[in-house]
A = this chain, B = another copy of it.
């Protein structure tokens, strides 16, 4: 852990876990973002403060590797580090470790700053990035992007709910996970556990809209599957993702 990183301890509550007795992927991202929120509060740049400037941090891409999902009642360490930035993007890493300091998950995230009125990405002012002691990098990172769906194996509709909306007055990224993965159905989510996920956010979704979550399921081995996901509103792409899965082996199913 580097000095410019931020770390905190967290006990996973029962309501943060699902039928498998572990944290779901969306909740995993919530937990990681908690450290980022707390670091921002600590340096005096809370979401509320950024919001009062008419701005809001948004995520444009998440890349997650999962070694093991945190379990019900487990105590974990959540760490974040604002790695680098350029005029428009901020690159931040997150880790979850168990109490023996074994890495459970790692996430690389691309943030951008949105103007709340224009709903457009703006240049990041120096005073919003300086307190994180992040490294300035002129280059924009070229991260792998999830591929388009070749066919639709599963499809479900999701209407935006009050509790989906966040401080930026749009659906919080974390709810995209719920829509993407729920479309795979219960049998799939009990049978397989996620290994990695790459999510690209293309367009915000707002209250009153109806989203369609489409998924393609491709077997890649005897015990491994890759799923491809797209979330659309009126045929316009909001989000695209790819997720690798393996057969669930841990005896933690209730």
Contacts and interface: CB of A to CB of B under 8 A. Distances in A.
Interface of A: 13-15, 18-19, 21, 24, 26, 30, 33-34, 37, 41, 47-48, 51, 73, 156, 159, 161-163, 165-167, 169, 174, 178, 181-182, 185-186, 189, 207, 254
Contact of A254 (B13, B51, B159, B186): B51
A15 B33 contact: yes
Contacts of A159: 156
Chain A facing B: main interface SS: helix
Contacts of A21: 48
A37 B165 CA distance: 29
A51 B254 CA distance: 8
A18 B181 contact: no
A73 B41 contact: yes
Nearest to A36: B14
A14 B178 contact: no
A174 B15 CA distance: 10
Nearest to A30: B15
Given A34-B13, A41-B73, A254-B51, A163 B18 contact: yes
